[in-house]
């Protein structure tokens, strides 16, 4: 194919970059306005556009330019756009969504375009840009040390402790006293360890309602529930049941919009927000939680899943601001700044970073950390850490990171 004149190439590239900037602003604005809510079509469109920019650059790429003084600006831009697109796609794939929504990504309208752009990128030889470069020795040591310490922190099982006493075994008066003052901390009939859910015992749970931040609840009622009810009323104008439902939804919307709240000065920072909504009825960012009638199905998870989440969370937080992952450091600086508002913290910025995105960015640079996603590999890593000393286990992890070769990112299977 005949190459475009350079001025036309630049003009076409600038148009793509302008579209990308506009779409990025739109996605970021929705993320901020609706407390992390993702528009799947918008995010997929942004991923496809980044890959389109990379493909456009590859179609006019001259491998002989820039070799004497390092990679050319075009090569750096191809790497930046392609790795960012791959990380965003991996982040979507690992979103904590309900079991009945797992196929949403592959069934979305924009997924086919992403897949086509990704395949075109690989066929043009772009896979080399997705390979991790040779990391600096100091950075590898920092990553291995953070992973080693995160693993060692949670190596000791926390589901094997015995209760200090059995309330039902106490003398009559003391038993009544404990039941009166400590009904939650020392209930009768406590089960013996081990606690939690072991592998193979995971169950599927369901709920007819779910909690979400106030802004998301308003958005859901306005854009999903109310339009559907109004369409149903147009088809059946005399239905008093539908009219009553519309009236209830409007009353609920009015109630939600009239709610005012002050964000907490010192948010409760607990692992993965596990107890946040239970104890405080607020998100980690301080936004009120509301209940909406959305049915969902989800898996209970196991003790190993919980352990993997805690290790991954601790690992990412330990690397925030350490200079090993530019994207993570940028997020860390933003959370510390005043511009972050209620989404940040000047005292504990590492507790506010986007853990999922941070992990995906680290994995792009250090592919060996994907062992935190594989149950068998993670179990083997736990065995190494618990069975050896601190220095020995860190050396094993460091060698694993060094020898791990980067495989091309895979699209989620349809």
Least confident range of 52-56, 93-97, 249-253: 93-97
- pLDDT for the residue numbered 146: 94
State pLDDT tens for residues 115-159. 999 999 998 888 888 876 555 778 889 999 999 999 999 887 766
Instruction: Pick the range with the lowest mean pLDDT from 9-13, 148-152, 408-412.
Output: 408-412
Least confident of 24-33, 47-56, 59-68, 381-390: 59-68
Residues 235-289: tens digit of each pLDDT: 988 888 889 999 999 998 998 888 876 655 555 555 555 555 556 677 766 777 8
- Among 12-16, 37-41, 132-136, the range scoring the smallest mean pLDDT is 132-136
Distance of CA 133 to the CA centre of its chain: 24
Residue whose entry in the numeric block shows the structure tokens 């996605």: 27
Compute φ and ψ for 400, nearest 5 degrees: -65, -40
Phi–psi pair at 160, nearest 5 degrees: -120, 5
Phi first, then psi: give them for residue 286, nearest 5 degrees: 95, 15
Separation in Å, CA 174 to CA 169, 170, 185, 387:
10, 6, 15, 43
The answer, as to whether pTM is greater than 0.85, is no
HSE toward the beta carbon, residue 11, CA cutoff 13 A: 5
Burial class (CB in 10 A: 0-12, 13-18, 19+), 71: middle
The radius of gyration of the chain's CA atoms, rounded to the nearest angstrom, is 26
Number of residues in the chain: 414
Pair of tokens at residue 178:
């404990």
Helix, strand, coil abundance in the chain, percent, nearest 5: 60, 5, 35
Note the pLDDT of residue 273: 56
Local confidence band at 3 (pLDDT 50, 70, 90 cut-offs): very low
Average pLDDT over residues 166-193: 82
Burial of 1 from C-beta contacts in 10 A (0-12 / 13-18 / 19+): exposed
pLDDT the model gives residue 329 = 93
**Residues 211 and 290: beta-carbon distance below 8 Å:** yes
Cα-based angle 285, 291, 294 (whole degrees, multiple of 5): 115
Read off the pLDDT band of 169 (50, 70, 90). confident
Alpha helix ranges (H) inside 236-323: 240-258, 276-280, 303-319
pLDDT band at 407; cut points 50, 70, 90: very low
Residue 260 region by backbone torsions, left for phi larger than 0, else alpha for psi between -120 and 50, else beta: beta
Q: How far is CA 36 from CA 30, 67, 75, 356, in A?
A: 8, 41, 32, 12
DSSP assignment string, 226-255: HHHHHHHHHHSTT-HHHHHHHHHHHHHHHH
312 confidence band (pLDDT: 50, 70, 90) = very high
pLDDT above 50 for 315: yes
Cα(212)–Cα(36) distance, rounded to whole angstroms? 11
**Cβ count within 10 A of residue 374:** 12
Q: Across all residues in the chain, what is the average pLDDT?
A: 81
Per-residue pLDDT tens over the stretch 180-235:
888 877 888 777 777 777 777 777 877 888 888 888 889 989 988 999 999 999 99
The fraction of the chain above a pLDDT of 90, given in percent, is 24
Residue 408 has pLDDT above 70, yes or no: no
Contacts of 189 (CB under 8 A, 6+ apart): 168
């Amino acid at each position: 194919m005949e190459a475009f004149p350079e001025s036309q190439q630049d003009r076409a590239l600038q148009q793509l970059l302008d579209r990308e900037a506009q779409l990025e602003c739109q996605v970021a604005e929705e993320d901020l306005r609706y407390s992390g809510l993702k528009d799947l079509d918008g995010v997929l469109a942004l991923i496809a556009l980044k890959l389109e920019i990379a493909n456009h650059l590859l179609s006019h790429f001259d491998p002989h330019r820039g070799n004497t003084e390092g990679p050319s600006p075009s090569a750096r831009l191809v790497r930046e756009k392609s790795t960012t697109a791959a990380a965003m796609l991996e982040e979507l794939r690992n979103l904590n969504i309900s079991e009945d929504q797992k196929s949403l990504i592959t069934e979305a309208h924009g997924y086919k375009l992403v897949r086509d752009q990704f395949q075109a990128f690989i066929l043009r030889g772009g896979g080399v840009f997705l390979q991790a470069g040779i990391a600096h020795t100091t950075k590898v040591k920092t990553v291995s040390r953070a992973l080693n310490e995160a693993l060692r922190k949670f190596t000791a099982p926390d589901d094997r402790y015995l209760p200090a006493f059995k309330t039902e075994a106490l003398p009559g008066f003391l038993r009544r006293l404990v039941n009166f003052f400590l009904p939650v901390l020392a209930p009768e009939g406590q089960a013996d360890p081990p606690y939690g859910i072991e592998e193979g015992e995971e169950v599927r749970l369901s709920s007819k309602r779910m909690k979400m931040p106030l802004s998301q609840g308003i958005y859901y009622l306005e854009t999903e529930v109310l339009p559907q009810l109004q369409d149903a009323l147009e088809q059946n104008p005399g239905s008093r049941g539908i009219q009553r439902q519309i009236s209830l939804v409007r009353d609920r919307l009015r109630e939600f919009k009239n709610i005012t709240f002050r964000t907490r000065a010192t948010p409760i920072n607990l692992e993965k927000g596990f107890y946040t909504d239970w104890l405080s009825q607020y998100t980690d960012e301080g936004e009120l939680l509301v209940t909406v009638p959305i049915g969902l199905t989800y898996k209970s998870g196991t003790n190993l899943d919980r352990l993997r989440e805690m290790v991954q969370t601790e690992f990412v937080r330990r690397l925030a601001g350490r200079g090993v992952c530019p994207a993570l450091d940028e997020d860390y600086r933003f959370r510390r700044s005043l511009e972050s508002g209620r989404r940040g913290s000047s005292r504990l910025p590492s507790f506010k970073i986007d853990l999922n995105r941070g992990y995906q960015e680290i994995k792009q640079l250090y592919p060996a950390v994907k062992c935190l996603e594989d149950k068998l590999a993670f179990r083997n890593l736990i065995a190494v850490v618990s069975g050896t000393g601190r220095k020995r286990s860190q050396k094993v992890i460091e060698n694993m990171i060094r020898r791990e070769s980067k495989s091309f990112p895979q699209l989620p299977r349809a």
